[in-house]
Copies of this chain bind each other. A is one copy, B any other.
Amino acid sequence: MVGDERAAVLEVAEQAKVAARELLLATRAKKDEALLAMADALRADAPEIELANREDVAEAKANGTSAALIDRLTLDFLRIESLALALVAVAALDDPIGEVIRGWRVPNGLQITQVRVPLGVVGMIFEARPNVTVDAAALCIKSGNAVLLRGSSSAKRTNQALVSSMRRGLEKVGLSTALIALVPGDTHESVKHLMTARGLVDVLVPRGGAELIKGVVDEATVPVLETGVGNCHIYVDRDVDIDLATRLVVNSKAQRVSVCNAAETLLVHEDVAKDFMPIAMAALAEANVTIHGCERTKPFAADAGATFVPVTDDDWAAEYYSLDLAVGVVDSLDDAIGHIQRWSSGHTDAIYSDSNEAIEEFLGRVDAAAVIVNASTRFTDGGEFGFGAEIGISTQKLHARGPMGLTELTTTKYVVRGDGQVRE
C-alpha cells in the first residue's frame, strides 16, 4: 500500500511535468482564457462546491473545531464569487514569462540573453483556507507552471470540488487538466513523497504556521520557497516627531493583529522616552494593547493606565499575532540594532526618526527582507508594493526575499546564439 501511494503521487507529478511542458508554449492570451474559463466554471459549479464545503464544515464542527477555524473553512456563494473574481484579477496581471532580463554580446560575437521561464511544477502545501487552492492555481497557471496542491484534510471535499471545477475550465480551453491536481492520499507519507520528488517537482511552497514550514524544510529534498513568520521591530529614535511616531506604532501593532507584518516589539531611545512614552502608552492603552515592558517602561505604562506585564526573553522572541507588544527602552541606536540582530525574524524592521545619520546607519546594519523608514510595518505586503498578487512573504535569502509576486514563481534560462564559435 505504501508503495502504491508513492507510485500514485509520482504519477500525478509526472503528468503535471508533461502538462507543464505543453504550457511552455501557451501564449499569454491562452493562459488568460484559461483563467477566465476557470472563473466561469467556479460560478457554474458553485452549488456543488457549496455542498461539498457544507460537508467539510459539518465534520469540522462535529470534531469540535474552533469558530475561527470554521469561519476560515466556510465557503458561501459570496465567497465563491470572490474566488472567481480573484481568477479574473490574476488574468489582468502582466505575464512574467518571456521577459528578457538582460542581454549582451561577448568579444567572440556570441549573443547571450537571460530570459524568464516558468519553474515547471510547483508543490503547494497549505492549511485550512480553501481560497489558497484557487489563488495558488491561478498564480501558477499565469506564470506557466503546473501545480500540485496539498491542502488540509479538513477541507478535502471542498478542495476536491474546487479542483474539479477549475479543471473543467482548463478542459474547455483545450489545456491539460493535469496542470492542476490534488496530491493523492491523505497520510503524512503522501506529502513526504511530494517533498522528495526531485526531478518531477521543481519547488515546494509551504503556506501556513511555523510548524508546517519547519516540517517541510526538515523533510524536503525538493527546494523550498519558505514563506516566513514575522517578529517585526520598531525603533523610535531620539530625534523624532512624537505624534507621527505614535500614530505609526499604533497602526503597526493594532490595525490588524493576526498578520505577519504587524509589529511585535517596540524599542525606544532613552533620550526621547520621557516625551514619547506617555503619549505612546496612552494611545496603545486606548487601542487595548497589553504592554510586555522592561523596568524603564513600567512607570510610563502605569501612568497611562496600560495593562503591563514584565517582559521576558519569550516576549522578545514572540510573534504574538494579538494585541500584545514587547517594549524596551534602549540606551542608543547601537543597542537597538543589537537587539534587532538578536531577536528579529528578518521580516520587517522599522525606524522612526528625523535624523538622516541614524536612518542611514539603521538601513545599513539591519538585515531584514524589508527595512522601513517612517511608515507602518504593515506595508510589507505584495498588494501594497503593487505586485497585484502575492504568494507569500519570504524571509529566506535565496531566490526571493520579501513579498513574492508572480515573478518569484519563475526562473530564467540563458539563450546563447552563435555562428560557429568554438573554444580554443
Please report A residues at the B interface, Cβ cutoff 8 Å.
21, 24-25, 104, 106, 110, 112, 114, 117, 119-120, 198, 202-203, 217-218, 221, 223-225, 241, 244, 247-248, 251, 255-256, 341, 363-365, 367-376, 378-380, 384-386, 396-399, 401-403, 411-424
Q: Which single residue of chain B is at the shortest CB-CB distance from A18?
A: B341
Question: A375 is contacted by which of B21, B401, B412, B416 (Cβ under 8 Å)?
Answer: B416
Decide: A223 and B365 in contact? CB cutoff 8 A: no
Q: Within 8 Å CB of A422, what residues of B?
A: 247-248, 251, 255, 375-376, 378
CB nearest to A115 among chain B residues: B363
A304 to B14, CA, bound (A): 41
CA distance A223 to B225 in the complex (A): 10
CA distance in complex: A20, B364 (Å): 13
Given A375-B110, A416-B372, the answer on whether A365 and B203 have CB atoms closer than 8 Å is: no
Q: Which residues of B contact A120 (CB under 8 A)?
A: 367, 397
> Are A418 and B373 CB-contacts (below 8 A) given A106-B385, A398-B398, A402-B413?
yes
Say whether A413 contacts B379, CB under 8 Å: no
Q: Which of B217, B371, B385, B424 contacts A413 (CB 8 A)?
A: B371
Please report the C-alpha to C-alpha distance between residue A402 and residue B416 in the assembled complex, in whole angstroms: 12
In angstroms, Cα B112 to Cα A402, docked, is 12
Number of copies: 2
18 additional contacts, CB 8 Å, given A114-B402, A247-B422, A401-B414? A24-B364, A110-B384, A120-B367, A120-B397, A202-B397, A256-B423, A363-B415, A367-B413, A372-B416, A373-B418, A374-B417, A376-B418, A380-B416, A398-B399, A401-B411, A401-B413, A402-B413, A403-B414
Contacts of A21 in B (CB 8 A): 341, 365, 367
Residue of B nearest to A373 (CB): B417
Q: Chain B residues near A379 (CB, 8 Å)?
A: 110, 416, 418, 421, 423
The residue of chain B having its C-beta at the shortest distance from the C-beta of A226 within the complex is B223
* Contact status B248-A370, CB under 8 Å: no
A-B contact pairs, 22 of them (CB 8 A): A21-B365, A106-B385, A198-B217, A203-B398, A248-B420, A255-B424, A367-B413, A369-B413, A370-B413, A370-B414, A370-B415, A373-B418, A374-B417, A374-B419, A375-B417, A375-B421, A380-B414, A380-B416, A384-B423, A398-B411, A399-B399, A401-B413
CB distance from A176 to the nearest CB of B (A): 15
By the criterion CB–CB under 8 Å, are B397 and A119 in contact?
A: yes
Specify which chain B residues have a CB less than 8 angstroms from the CB of A241 in the assembled complex. Answer: 420
Which residues of B lie under 8 Å from residue A401 when comparing CB positions? Answer: 411-414
